[in-house]
Structure 1
Amino acid sequence: MSDLAEKLAKLKETAEGQLKECGVSNVDQELLESLVNRLRTMVDNKDATLVSGKDASELETVRRNFAEKKLGVTDKDKAMAAINKVAEKMSGIRMKSRPAFYYLVQQELS
């Protein structure tokens, strides 16, 4: 397995663990795989693979770059409500995996 493949596998494994910790018993592997693969160019940047649930500018970036651009949710209040709900749900996890965070946001908005 290449170095990149190993890092992506570790990222996916971490995300799966965090999703289970948040009560997701049946993880949609295809969705999670696509979220992990979106980070393949940033996998070496530890900060890019994590989300700070208490940083308002970070949460706004999630809204703009994921909820709006990737999911097409233009209602800012609806998107931020989902993002804040996920941040609260994951509040017990110190280093929140970006794929897990995005997965939960996508679930909240669908």
Structure 2
Amino acid sequence: MGKRDDLIAKYAEDLKAKCGMTPDMDLLTKVTIGCGPAIYDADAETVSASDSSELETVKNNFLVKKLGLADGPALMEAIDAVVETYGRSERNKYRAVFYYLLVKHFGKEAVYA
């Protein structure tokens, strides 16, 4: 197994243990690949839920640009719901897991088909 496969396994475990859900491995793999080299960078592989500018970046670059959603208050509400699902006290919120949860939230799996 390569480094990316190891990371995908780690993300799947996070979804099971911290979010209480069984991941769609095909979708999780595609979302992880979509994150690009960020998953290999210690700082970029996680989302800082306490940093409003980072959450704004997730909204603009992922939800609006990647998923093609219209900007509005529902986007930040969804990000907040994902933070809640992942666990507010959880320090390491992996970007791939965070994005996976947002894709599921908005039912945008077709973007990765």
TM-score (norm. length: structure 1)? 0.85
Give the aligned partner of residue 65 of structure 1. Answer: 61
CA distance in 1, matches of 2:38, 2:55: 18
CA distance in 2, matches of 1:43, 1:103: 13
- Classify the secondary structure of the residue corresponding to 2:38: coil
Task: State the Cα deviation string for residues 61-84 of structure 1 (Å, max 9, x = none).
Answer: 110111111111113211111001
Segments of 5+ residues of structure 1 without an aligned counterpart are none
The answer to whether the 8 Å contact 2:32/2:39 transfers is no
The answer to whether the 8 Å contact 2:47/2:93 transfers is yes
Letter of the 1:93 counterpart: E
Aligned length: 105
Q: Which runs of 4+ in 1 moved over 4 A?
A: none
Give the aligned partner of residue 89 of structure 1. Answer: 85
Query: How do residues 1-110 of structure 1 correspond to structure 2 at under 5 angstroms?
Result: 5-6=2-3, 8-20=4-16, 21-25=18-22, 27-90=23-86, 91-110=88-107
The answer to whether the 8 Å contact 1:42/1:48 transfers is yes
The answer to whether the 8 Å contact 1:63/1:76 transfers is no
Q: Percent identity?
A: 37
TM-score (norm. length: structure 2)? 0.83
